Homo-oligomer: A and B are copies of this chain.
């Protein structure tokens, strides 16, 4: 068994989004090529909630204030979240996902979707259990399995060479399930690649999970921000047994409400029960007053979601135009969400050196692909929920840096 020092050595956060400020100057800076490139700094590691087009949901702050005024009943909810709010949300989430949901038994409110992911894995993964993890996928997924002492069984996703679907290797997934995998965790749309699983991919996942008795945890954080021409399939409504699936969502991204730390997990009642027990010792509950903000979720003003999608789509297309003009760069147009995951041309420096140079010389923060898959030493992730003109200009600086470091 690994020591605690060894266990934590695997949980590095130095290159995680938002942690760049902790990196000191380095000897590597001597290898920088050329000078700095002027331009408004852009931090693509997460969305900019100050961006005009991507402000927090209208009415969110007012609901928070109303929660503060309610006082004790809002500060001290049940561990799984305020009962009336759960009933309200269950109804909305059932309609959104296309399958029934009980607010009393099948839903828990959590501190962000990160909190939901931790609780869901903590409630299903025992030390030594085999867990299937997609490559690439959200960087915390593999770390959660590491912390819990599980065994990661990777499943590759060929997102780059196709036009539709996510490109998950379903043969590998079946082999993984046959090898004794008990839990399968994946994000849809995929973070970082922005691809959406096709209906037949989701149907196959449902069938395989049923056949092999695998519990599936699906992170649908970005499933509302769906671009024109894409079809979204909710796993929980795809014929899978309700006791085998937990769906995770939250208002931190599309709705720009990250500052309130809110998420939700819903599905298998016995897993939600365990998640509540775990939440009781991890953080007691999602922040009490913040929970009130969820009243605005799926109840935004008419046209609000459509406007948010349109603003993202216009920015996506402008950034794709810049990146597609770079010889040797490859990027799949995201079908949903606000992530771009371009594969860089061959460079004369390592990925981490390039990412560092981008920050130091071009004022551009991106996340290295290695956070999402150990073999993605050729890719960078950008969250493009940013001010439109600043983001496009920053993309041009990335293009200039690519030329400089070829």
Q: A61-B68, A123-B8 are in contact. Are A283 and B76 (CB under 8 A)?
A: no
Contact B79 A280 (CB under 8 A): no
Contact B280 A282 (CB under 8 A): no
A1-42 interface code vs B (CB 8 A; 1 in, 0 out)? 101100110011100101101100000000000000000000
Q: For the complex, count residues of A whose C-beta is within 8 A of B.
A: 67
Contact residue among B22, B48, B72 (Cβ-Cβ distance under 8 Å from A48)? B72
Number of copies: 2
Q: Does A74 contact B (CB under 8 A)?
A: yes
Contact A78 B278 (CB under 8 A): no
Q: Does A106 contact B (CB under 8 A)?
A: no
Contact A115 B282 (CB under 8 A): yes
Q: Which residue of B lies closest to A12 (CB)?
A: B277
In the complex, chain B residues whose CB is within 8 Å of the CB of A12: 277
A297-332 interface code vs B (CB 8 A; 1 in, 0 out)? 000000000000000000000000000000000000
Q: Does A83 contact B (CB under 8 A)?
A: yes
Q: Does A177 contact B (CB under 8 A)?
A: no
Q: Could you tell me the distance between the alpha carbons of A283 and B112 in the complex, rounded to whole angstroms?
A: 6
State the Cβ distance, A90 to closest chain B Cβ, in Å. Answer: 16
Contact B259 A289 (CB under 8 A): yes
Tell me the A98-145 residues at the B interface (CB within 8 Å). Answer: 110-112, 114-115, 117-118, 122-128, 140, 143-144
Q: Could you tell me the distance between the alpha carbons of A147 and B149 in the complex, rounded to whole angstroms?
A: 12
Q: Could you tell me the distance between the alpha carbons of A7 and B110 in the complex, rounded to whole angstroms?
A: 21
Q: Does A189 contact B (CB under 8 A)?
A: no
Contact B284 A112 (CB under 8 A): yes
In the complex, chain B residues whose CB is within 8 Å of the CB of A283: 110-112, 114-115, 118, 261, 282-283
State the Cβ distance, A72 to closest chain B Cβ, in Å. Answer: 5
A73-84 interface code vs B (CB 8 A; 1 in, 0 out)? 011101100010
Q: Does A287 contact B (CB under 8 A)?
A: yes
Given contacts A19-B79, A22-B78, A259-B289, 18 further A-B contacts (CB under 8 A): A1-B128, A4-B274, A8-B273, A11-B277, A11-B281, A13-B79, A18-B76, A21-B83, A49-B76, A61-B68, A112-B284, A118-B283, A122-B147, A147-B278, A259-B288, A260-B289, A261-B285, A261-B290
Question: Which of A's residues lie within 8 Å of B, judged by CB?
Answer: 1, 3-4, 7-8, 11-13, 16, 18-19, 21-22, 46, 48-50, 61, 67-68, 71-72, 74-76, 78-79, 83, 110-112, 114-115, 117-118, 122-128, 140, 143-144, 147, 149, 258-261, 273-274, 276-278, 280-290
